[in-house]
Structure 1
């Protein structure tokens, strides 16, 4: 056995062996219990980053561990391949998005294979494959047929630079999350999915997601935003129009003194009088540039503008001026709010600013509120006043009575409202799944016949960067004939939001080569749901919610069984990989390799060390995984990613930590190398062992138990690895190796077997060097021997009159009399009972001794 640990040679050797053997191929086998492990698939940007290394290392440990436990493990990989970056690259580099994407996939696939990940590469696909997106188009057609997909005019977030629609979640500080430029609003005809039809089920099913982190569930509950209240119509003065509001505070209806509309409300301009139009238009334009989250924040300055119109309070008949207000959003309720300034703090601040009236309709017990002297809104409970027939009622009880009164008079109705809005899926770009509909002047919107799927993306597309969808300029694609009447027609030139592709890919992995349907029901029945899903918490209210919705849609459309309600049984949201930033006064942010001995390698200036932040190319606090693997090996990269922090916590990059992991693997290598000749002929562990040998064997089996418990369910990889490190220390300290080579061999083999899921290359190599012809995988996961765990000696606490005064070591099978004698002679205990009479000695076997003396 070579003395030096050569990570590069070992890793390339075993990666080749695993690929040739198809070691991780998964086939459905009803006789075996399955385990479906999945990490969120990557966008093929061209290179993996340390976040990928960490994410996929976490998943690989679990997949390998479950396989060793005897599970039939499915662990696939593919590519979330559509999207704007490819189109932007096409414009910038004069390269077709398909070419750019395929080159990136090839490069990233090579990088992932160098990590030794246990993927079934036979199941690989990219969402830009026509064999994949044809089925997405079919699902859409079935949704259209069932009324779950529809088209309507809508105000959308519009990026003028990317020339596409953005979801609310894709707008950050009123800027596009892709290009960083300012976002506008635009009225467009858009395709929508009726996710709102599933709002209640999406909420109810969360009770069954016990393997999901509570923060993710909370984020989804808040995003869906269920609330029970009333819809109330406020007639517009001098018109037959009505402003509909949704409120959970119908008990305050009699105190509503003005109306607040979202600037995006469809009636905003309709209600604006000519003399108010310029001011209103300026306000709308200004508010559109404000961040939605900031607008809804409690401490944000409340601003508005009067439209010039009035509506009528249906309960009091009072005229209410209609304002546009920056804190009202179209995303909740109806986009209109009946303003009750006496009992809502935002309305109170707004009313004081614009000198609007206050009417108190809830008086707290023991107080009398005067609108003229109020300094803040009263939002607590109390009894109704100034509320006609409801005066004197407790305000909570009044909610039900006022709701019934409104319904009886035809003024409103009790209803459930959701913050969730239907999912807008139209995008004005080329590199996405074509939406399979045709527009005919005679027949209207016509679905593409299923037998004509897939509607393929044309390849003869020019990317000019001039804006708009490149598809719209491809006459050969746009011009077609109506499948119903045969007349000239045109194709839809919008493509799907990329979240559509990622909303069902996990189901396609069950049967990626199925040619007759989106999925093979039998394969899905065996493999789904995903047992363990791994990815970032930033996807909590987009990808994860959409995937849940799509699973229910595929169920209701009959593509999967009726009992498949949720896609992911357990969810692990891993933390970020962080690193401190470095900058030069002259050259700005610096990559780690641009720093030499605390100075800029270019100009020699002393660097400034900044905060530890998430690794990002913009701030150059990144580590190149290729360089890391070339320097230390993939096993070291994996080990550090797993050892430096628990999976759910942020990992702080530390070069010394990487070197420490590399030294540890060298130490393991030497432990086997230096003892190979000694343990090569060792037989079975004998029944009778001396104290030192029993101690090492006990440490071996304690480590098996510890590592098993830490991986199983808890994913405490860092403490599991730490336990193996302690066992390696015990091996180096074992002085009886010449007398007990069989105990040493058991310890060494255990280290290799326990490290296998974490660092599979070196484990496979060492296992082979130890003389084993069979693979580690064929042996399964090691089991600990309970008898070996029995302690020769145990540590017992000794108390004097209930206070700890010492500790003693005694034989595990020591008799009570011997324990008492040793406790009383322990020096510190003896000091505390000197000159006193020992009244009683209480022995709690295996735990403590309490001496009672006075």
Structure 2
């Protein structure tokens, strides 16, 4: 028998698939319904990792399964190829970012092809290529014309290490999401997309996605958008006509305001600092604190008195105006009315700085003494010290006080969103150039459409300081497209999340050089039927893509409202990390000797199972696995070890187990291929089968049903593979007892044919090899997915309970056709039943065919 030489088999079929272009997809197939399957595209770092293997194996199984179920499947791949790592390589190693990126793409492309993924490579895109980023610029200019792009000065998240601005979503625990460096605030002019114009529609769209997207992702987006209903109230700066508006959802507490707090970034603060220079250092320090930690419950709330007062409009009380780190410009108006008796954050701040307390809500049955308060009272109650609203339940008072404020002209009822406009300016080279030009005469002018793309220059210096584009005079100094005079080109580039916000649309028409894509073509494919990627993109890529989709719809480029119909967020791949806290060093597993001690200091290593990463030296090289076990084994392990949405813990023994299973499949097919009847297929009559034949056919059809149900039930591949393993076990039990010297067997043909088809989405290389070895023609990918035959699923035997006076005493497995009298005799002659009937008067025997025999005794 031929040996299972996976490396030869896999390279053979990868070559065949590529030469025959079997994964190439036409935009329209009259006989098939379109199905768009997509995984989030990779960044070309140079090497694939186990996260890639898992993510793309999941997608490949679905793509192959849907194709075999009669769909015209679009399964493309490309590269999210702009970004900081390429620029860092240029700075550190003097490598051209473009050359570095394109070489990495070629390297990773070879690796992905080795895994046998069913990509239509003819649609491949790379966001760093001019034929892609030209359309980023084209879209930017169209949005500018619509007033959806603007430039303004504001405090932004700045990373000194990357020398660039970060969106709020890109700051994680106060650090840059890319390099891990501390982030601080900087006042810069930046370009923004008006995502806030779509805040309400982004929320409403969740209704369409509910049930098809993970609840957690929807909840994260809702929280990020942060819709709240409340009242905007104008406090007056003392001795001036300046209004200081605050937004509050708790206007029922407005009579209890004892101070106001401004965010350090509030525009009014700069005016205050001109008069009160003594507090400048403290204010600037607050500005540089991480925004997320500033508002965290357990972080210290700090502030400084501005020297100014504001007037509360509802009672004309004068309250001090403070500047505090726990207030952000990102929410509401950047000013907060502080009610320390009824807000825990305000209470802690007031206690720290010895500020006044005033109770305005109290329990109905008791009164609170403000001098004895150890925490804010945040429960329901009735209003006191609130003028004409005294005695009202506080929840009822919210609408009444809001109406009063609106009627008096002190403010208005309003809706607020936490979401702020998307800051897209980046001070770096390796990104899409922003197509804006600054002319002293004409102001801001967009580059003419016929001059797009604005290309990245090659005459730049990568020093590690500042924006490399600033070093190219040829790039910076241009002619105004409007008046022909001297002008200066924008040197900021776009956030790379712009690139990934619409790439799924470009795949549908990737070679179009006239427009980003044809409306008729894209409408035939989107929304994407199934999207797969990590949950870490819930409020960055996924939210931005939804926003962009709606923008492009409103530009008339497509018809649908949402980009992704169904979303699967796969779990992370975990591996053990070995860390010495004292030496601050992570060891590779291969370096760790028995006893798990640090080689340097000799202390016990801290062992933790966590996400695989380069920094923790706990990753596994897929190339090594492919070389030792083959791509099919790598795929099978990642698919079988855990359901797609769950975390997958790396296990070398399970990997070896997957390899052993493939060898079992290999042997059972090759040992019995001579018995496969490749001639005219003969229908198998269940009535003419012996018991062994019938049992195997029953198991086959149970497996077809189970695998199909598992695929349809949110792609639980692990249970599908487990069912196939059971079928293979049954085939081994069957093979020794069935032939009676027959050369060919319709049973074997049926079982082997269906087995190979069932395993093919998971392990396509071995499937095509076995298909050929068994004498079948073509590729398994082009076969129809099997349908279970219900005839073989009908049970011939049933389990019947034997009861005495309604209590279970025995049971028996009997033929379904057994007669009443025969069933009655079986029950009466049961030894277990006789223990309760001997010597007793049997009053009657109730027989319910295929279910129960109940013997009533006295």
- Mapped to 2, the partners of 1:616 and 1:25 lie a distance apart of 34
Give the structure 1 partner of residue 493 of structure 2.
495
Alpha-carbon offset, residue 392 of structure 1: 2.3
Counterpart residue number, 2:320: 321
Tell me the equivalent position of 1:716: 716
Residues of 2 paired with 1:301 and 1:454: CA distance? 49
Q: Deviations over 1:42-95 (max 9, x none)?
A: 000100000000000000000000000000000000000000111001111110
The alignment partner of 1:268 has SS state of: helix
CA distance in 2, matches of 1:335, 1:477: 39
| Residue 125 of structure 1: how far off its partner (Å) | 0.8
What CA deviation, in whole Å up to 9, does each residue of 1:277-318 have, x standing for no partner?
44452354156334x333323333333222222111111111
Query: 1:324: Cα distance to partner?
Result: 2.2
Q: Name the structure 2 match of 1:215.
A: 216
Q: Does 1:569 align with 2:570?
A: no
The equivalent residue for 1:239 is 240
Task: Map 1:680-699 to 2 at 5 A.
Answer: 684=682, 686-687=684-685, 688-699=688-699
CA contact (8 A) 2:670 2:774 kept: no
What is aligned with 2:506? 508
Query: Which residue in 2 is equivalent to 1:439?
Result: 438
Equivalent in the alignment of 1:264: 265
Could you say which residue in structure 2 is the equivalent of 1:85? Answer: 85
- Cα gap change, 1:803 to 1:574, in 2 (>3 Å): farther
Whether the 8 Å CA contact 2:613–2:619 is kept in 1: the answer is: yes
CA contact (8 A) 2:293 2:299 kept: yes
Tell me the equivalent position of 2:591: 594
Inter-CA distance 638–827: structure 2 relative to 1 (3 Å threshold): farther
* Aligned partners of 1:581 and 1:620 also within 8 Å: yes
Q: Judging changes above 3 Å, is the alpha-carbon distance between structure 1 residues 322 and 756 closer, same or farther for their aligned structure 2 residues? A: same
- Which residue of structure 1 aligns with residue 660 of structure 2? 663
Q: Which moved more, 1:219-228 or 1:787-796?
A: 787-796
CA distance in 1, matches of 2:275, 2:702: 82
Question: How far apart, CA to CA, are the structure 1 residues paired with 2:633 and 2:779?
Answer: 22
Q: Assess, with a 3 A threshold, how the Cα gap between structure 1 residues 306 and 72 changes in structure 2: closer, same or farther.
A: same
Alignment correspondent of 1:779: 783
Aligned CA distance change for structure 1 residues 837 and 49 (closer, same or farther; 3 Å): farther
Matched-pair contact (CA < 8 Å) for 1:578–1:652: yes
Match of residue 71 from structure 2: 71
- CA displacement, residues 200-232 of structure 1 (integer Å, 9 cap, x when unaligned): 001011101031010000001111111111111
Q: How far off is 1:767 after superposition?
A: 0.6
Q: Is the 8 A contact 1:60 1:757 kept in 2?
A: yes
Residues 1:364 and 2:360 aligned together: no
Residues 51, 577 of structure 1: 8 Å contact kept: yes
Matches within 5 A, 1:295-444: 295-444=294-443
Distance in 1 between the 2:662 and 2:600 partners?
38
Tell me, in whole angstroms, the C-alpha distance in 2 between the residues paired with 1:203 and 1:803: 58
Residue 97 of structure 1 corresponds to: 97
Structure 2 unaligned blocks of 5 or more: none
1:527 aligns with 2:525: yes
User: Secondary structure at 1:10's aligned position in 2?
Assistant: helix
Give the match for residue 578 of structure 1.
Answer: 574
Distance 1:544 1:840 in 2: 69
Please give the TM-score of this superposition, normalised by the length of structure 2.
0.95
Q: 1:483 to 1:837 in 2, by over 3 A?
A: farther
Counterpart Cα distance in 2 of 1:33 and 1:662: 36
| Aligned counterpart, 1:760 | 764
Distance 1:321 1:749, change over 3 A: same
Whole-angstrom CA distance in 2 between matches of 1:673 and 1:575: 36
Alignment TM-score, normalising by the size of structure 1: 0.95
Matches of 1:583 and 1:301, distance apart in 2: 31
Partner-residue secondary structure (3-state), 2:247: strand
Could you tell me how far apart the structure 1 residues matched to 2:718 and 2:654 are?
Answer: 13
Matches within 5 A, 1:622-641: 622-641=619-638
Q: Could you tell me how far apart the structure 2 residues matched to 1:74 and 1:343 are?
A: 56
Candidates 552, 555, 558, aligned match of 2:556: 558
Instruction: Sort the Cα spacing of 1:320 and 1:120 in 2 relative to 1 into closer, same or farther, 3 A.
Output: same
* Counterpart secondary structure, 1:665: helix
- Cα 1:154–1:19 change in 2 (3 A) is same
Partners of 2:476 and 2:84 lie apart in 1 by 21
1:477 and 1:853 map into 2 onto residues whose CA distance is 102
Cα contact 2:37–2:73 (8 A) shared by 1: yes
Deviation at 1:801, TM superposition (A): 5.5
CA spacing shift, 1:797–1:341, aligned 2, 3 Å: farther
Give a deviation string over 1:776-817, Cα, whole Å, max 9, x none. 233210111110112222334555566555442111333344
State whether structure 2 residue 450 is matched by structure 1 residue 470. no
Q: Does 1:457 align with 2:456?
A: yes
Summarize deviations over 1:647-686 as a string: whole Å, max 9, x none.
0000000000000000000010011121122335786364
